[in-house]
Chain A
Amino acid sequence: MQRTQVRNRRTRTWPTSSTHAAAIVCLLASCSIVETALAQWPQWGGPRRDFSCQATDLADRWPADGPHKVWSREIGGGHSAIIVDGATLYTMCRRENQDAVLAIDTNTGRTIWETRYDAPTKPDMQLDFGCGPHATPLLAGDRLFTIGAMVQFRCLDKKTGKTLWSHDLIDEMGASHLGRGYGASPIAYKDLVIINIGSRDTGIAAFKQDTGEMAWKSGPFRGGYPSPVLTTINGEDHLIIALAGARAALDPATGEVRWKVTVDRQSAGIMCTPLWIAPDKVFFSAAYGGGSRLFKITAKDGQYTADELWHCRKMKIMHGTAARVGDVVFGSSGDFGPTFLSAVNLETGKILWRKRGFGKANLLYADGKFIILDEKGELALAKADAEGIEVLSQAKVLEQRSWTVPTLVGPRLYLRDYQTIMALDLSEAANRPSAAAAPSPLSSGQEVTR
């Protein structure tokens, strides 16, 4: 990230000498490679799958019409998030009866390749919110793994979009499309890629990345929208899963259950990705009466147990993200009714504050700030802690069903709604004001609603 700043400064003081210029071009080229290696966003939730990333020098204030727009273009329907690998981003969208995987130039927004395949909807689906795709591609090496709403699981060559192998998991394994379309994003573990199945006899399954051959399958778990996360507890790897009937962890190498907690029907409608709280706790949040729960994982005699430390009904994250800073978890809480940006104390499970004014939102944490995108397309930058939240800048940048969590690589933010995908530059340099954003009605000091 520091190298990004170097590049910006040099750009502003571009030398006149062609020799110097050539040298700096070389330097910039090498910087770019280093930056790419450090900054890519290879999967759902970012490098650590926790919706936080390294970034510096994000501008606190944006021009009135929002941060500097690098490009914007139409894209088909879908809520699949964006992953970034150097100068290419990948995402998915819907084209009539087909799913499409797109590779797009991050600098221009132009399509590099697009791979489509037939993915007809099923008669037992509820599609009033569209038919996805909901899951986010995963990049592992040169392979791109994708899953559409109808649970067609594919491995593509990231450079060409050529399909290397595929599985129709409804046909092959009876995977669940969950009514509104499959939504959990795949995760890589060593040479495996692991996904939710939710069939009658298989909860989770792992496939070999190179051949697509199944490596293991777990026992039965009902399906679920939350994407699994990986962590290490007591020196052993845990794949943490949140499914309709259970919160659990599996051995990602074998699929054996390490620990499991059964949950009630109210907690079954979970969509939020679990949040690992090192060294030994996991945060889960569900809307529809489920609320949030914190579990402590304990290892004893080679066995693991999960004990509920608290349950907070008031923190109910629906399909947004949870982000943690220190002892506080932040999220957008609400389901059918009003939604509040909320903070919950990890020690006590008590709500610390709530803020009105945003619709259901996704949060990212970077550079000591939160990037907030709500479903109405309001993008905001805010500072938040246990005491409250201060919105620094806010602008409406998207229009409809902005349910996709943005992606931040360096200072560049990639975001989409159901129609449009765009890249914004959040850097101080790009937003240095000729016209700084006027304080919005939501940004006047610490508007904290308890």
Chain B
Amino acid sequence: MSHSHVLRIALVFGLVPWIAPTATAGDDVPARSIAGQTLQVPEEQLDLGEVYHVVPGPGTQLAWTHDAPLVRVLAICNRAVGYFVTPFDIEPDKSPVLAGALRIPVASLKTGRQQYDGEFHGPRALNAGEYPEITLRLQETRNAKLTADKDGRRSFTLDAVGELTVRDKTIRVSFPLQVQLVPFTWQTMRVDIGDLLIVRGEISVKTADLGFDTTASNKDFLAETATLDLCLMCSTVSPENNLDPAIKDEHSREQMRFFTLLRDFNDPEKGYKVGRAYMRTIWDDAQALNRLAQATLTEEDIQTRDLAFILRAARRANELTEFKDAALLCTLAHVQSERGDPEAALKWARAAEGLLEGAPQHVAAEVRGALARYEERCKHNQDGPLPSKP
């Protein structure tokens, strides 16, 4: 798509003032937890039955589309958080969904092109700075029909009514839902742990109702309707439930909070502030520091990686272990490589290789693979320009 198309889309989002809200945006949608990866389900809803938490990550798919004659905007998000409540005893003739809510970080809606994203999230469009989330709250479900019941798995179709809040505009939406309840088995564990609920639905909204410019001059660039296509993987196990006995719960929560801000909301200022505070609390814990450095270095969808921050954590982790832990040295080598210092990366990777005796096989393979890459890069460095990053 041409640059002019990008600008045109920006104009579509920007030309029209947003309609005054009919309700305070997202007020009725429960707040996020401190770590930010679940919502605080109200007590009265907890008592209704089973709570299924939306699992952010690859299993969560949510697409915003508006399909105009000359442009199609398709933004994908996999960082939505929320929950659905089902009755404790599911009955064929009763709705399998009693309550639900979603919070979708605007910054995590990705079109695949940074220029588009900038406009889409910017102050003239969804305005992530001021309205960082799109929210959805289920108000009612009806016409539930059991469509399949086999091997403990049950599928339903139903009609849902809810409130969708985009920017400062809240509109009532009606949409069909398909839900499938999948009890835990060793097979489903490959997808996620816990009993699963898969929620699919498609919400169509008039773009005019959301304040987009629908005048004739924009017709080729903005469809009359936009759709929010949901395919949400939900589990009875909260994504904040840390199952690794080696990781303290409070460490897990703080690191999650850091990533919620940095990755989901693309807010490096607040994110690294939380990250630095967290780093201080784990300053004497080599493994926690290494986890922090490693994740900040490799977690997908982080747009601003503060390499000085990562290096500080990785270096301290190695100081604490006196540079004698291969996995930690490998992280240090990785961050040096990302900083553009392949010689330092090579030095630490070689040190790591020297400590591989008795190391788990996957650690050894990782260290040797990294070492080979850094050697290659150093060789190119001596021979001429560096190849692009691995």
Contacts and interface: CB of A to CB of B under 8 A. Distances in A.
B243 interface: yes
Contact of A336 (B47, B51, B183, B243): B243
Nearest to A289: B184
Contacts of A314: 88
A337 B236 CA distance: 6
A2 to B, nearest CB: 42
A266 interface: yes
Given A336-B193, A336-B194, A351-B88, A289 B238 contact: no
A450 interface: yes
A337 B238 CA distance: 7
B387 interface: no
Interface in B190-207: 193-195
A259 interface: no
Interface residues on B, range: 20 to 34
Interface of B is mostly: loop
By size class, the interface of chain A is 10 to 19
B331 interface: no
A313 B238 contact: no
B185 A289 contact: yes
Interface in A363-414: 401
Contacts of A335: 184
Given A128-B245, A314-B88, A449-B47, A337 B186 contact: no
Nearest to B241: A337
Interface in A333-370: 335-338, 351, 354, 356
B241 A313 contact: no
Contact of B152 (A129, A265, A313): A313
B266 interface: no
B254 to A, nearest CB: 19
Nearest to B184: A289
Interface in B65-103: 88
Nearest to B49: A450
A129 B245 contact: yes
Interface in B176-222: 183-186, 193-195
Interface in B329-373: none
A265 B241 CA distance: 25
Closest 8 pairs between A and B when the two form their complex, measured CB to CB: A337-B237, A289-B184, A336-B193, A337-B236, A336-B237, A337-B194, A449-B47, A128-B245
18 contacts: A128-B245, A128-B246, A288-B184, A289-B185, A313-B152, A336-B194, A336-B243, A337-B193, A337-B195, A337-B235, A338-B236, A338-B237, A338-B238, A351-B88, A356-B46, A401-B245, A449-B47, A450-B88
Given A335-B184, A337-B238, A338-B51, 13 more contacts: A129-B245, A266-B184, A289-B185, A313-B152, A336-B184, A336-B193, A336-B194, A336-B237, A337-B236, A337-B241, A338-B237, A449-B46, A450-B47
